[in-house]
Structure formats: structure tokens, C-alpha cells
Amino acid sequence: DAGVIQSPRHEVTEMGQEVTLRCKPISGHDYLFWYRQTMMRGLELLIYFNNNVPIDDSGMPEDRFSAKMPNASFSTLKIQPSEPRDSAVYFCASSASGAYTDTQYFGPGTRLTVL
Amino acid sequence: AQRVTQPEKLLSVFKGAPVELKCNYSYSGSPELFWYVQYSRQRLQLLLRHISRESIKGFTADLNKGETSFHLKKPFAQEEDSAMYYCALITQGGSEKLVFGKGTKLTVNP
């Protein structure tokens, strides 16, 4: 198993452009999490899904951010329009049975730079 | 508010020396605490969880409710322990989620 797969690994874009980050969770995992990592704020949960349904999106910074999970094997995090302060590493993670009862497995992350 | 504090951003020790990475938490209920580790060029991964009361790679962590701490310890540090370490807390009440501290970068010098 390749683990959680994220693409792209690096993204450089200009302010105002739309950015889409992609994630493929581990097969059979029911939970998917999106995190953002910055020097100032550390690792923050943005949103998580259970069985493709968003459960908690209270960490999503603002309306410019949106996340979808159209099926059990794919999720996207979209930023539109992007701003320089969105520059960060974005991680996707999945777990078999929830943040409480099971280990979260992280992807390699997408390093986003917004110029 | 539920919060995890790792007071040291950087920690440097020599090989063979004891190491302790500090973690304090703020939580009103019975906490579930974890340590995650990220080695250079590797993914963030679970190191240990307090409910398992296990020792992984020589590391242990004891939950001290009186001091609201969950410090990570190893009696003899190795160079391969150099990594970024994150303490994390599961929040409850409503939706559960993992709240991370800002991390401590451990460097073990030869």
C-alpha cells in the first residue's frame, strides 16, 4: 500500500489564482482529514470527513477555502482566490475508524507557495 | 479552550544523554494524548499514545493529570532520534478531532 497519496507535492501560484490540492486516502479508511502547517500556527485541522460527509469544517479559514469528497477514494481542497498568507504545507490524513479510536496516517504533504 | 503547549521549539542533546520533550495540555475532561514524529523527508507518523502505555523506540510518556503534562522521555538519545516531535490531544464533545502542539525539533548530536 502506498499510503495516503497527495498531489501535487509542490505548487507555486500567483495571488488570485485558484489552487486545487488532491488526496487519495488509504483504501478502506472511513475518515479523511485536511491539515495546514505553518511556522506561526503549527499544524491545524481544517476539515474532516466521515464516509465522504464533512463532519467538522470549523477550522476552514474562510470562504475562499472549500473541500469535497465525492467518493471514498478522493478528496480535494480548493482555495479560490489564493493569497500569499495561504502559503503553507497542506497535509491529508486518513484513519480507519476515527480520530479518537485509531491512528491517523499522513500523506507527504503539498507545499503551497502563493506569490 | 482545549490546547496543547510545547514550550521548546528547539532541543539539542548529545548522543547517549537523556532527553525529555515537554508537553502541557489544557483540557477539562479525561484527555487522550499522543506523540507524533516526523523524521527528515518522511511522513508524520504516530509514535505513541498514552492509553497504550507502551514504549516505542525507547521513548515513554506518562500522563500527569495533576501537572496536566505528557512529557516524552528517553534515557539515552540516539542520532536517529533527531526529528520533529508533536504532542497531540483528542478533543471530545461534539465532533472529535486531533489538536496538535506546535512541535519541538530535536537534534541529537554525535
Query: Measured between alpha carbons, how far is B56 from B87 in angstroms, rounded to an integer?
Result: 15
pLDDT in the model for residue B97 = 77
Query: What is the mean pLDDT of the segment spanning A30-44?
Result: 91
Of the pLDDT bands very low, low, confident and very high (cuts 50, 70, 90), residue A103 is confident
Per-residue pLDDT at A108? 95
Per-residue pLDDT reduced to its tens digit, A64-77: 999 999 999 999 99
CB contact under 8 A, A99 and B96: yes
List the end-to-end C-alpha distance of chain B, in Å, as a whole number. 40
Longest dimension (CA), chain B: 47
What is the pLDDT, as a whole number, of residue A42?
86
Find which of A9, A23, A43 to mutate to test the B interface (most B CBs within 10 Å of its CB).
Answer: A43
For residue B57, CA distances in Å to B14, B42, B95 come to 17, 16, 32
B100–A44 C-beta distance less than 8 A = yes
pLDDT tens, residue by residue, B44-102: 999 998 877 778 899 999 889 899 999 999 999 999 999 999 999 987 766 677 889 99
What is d(CA A52, CA A86) in angstroms, rounded to the nearest whole number? 25
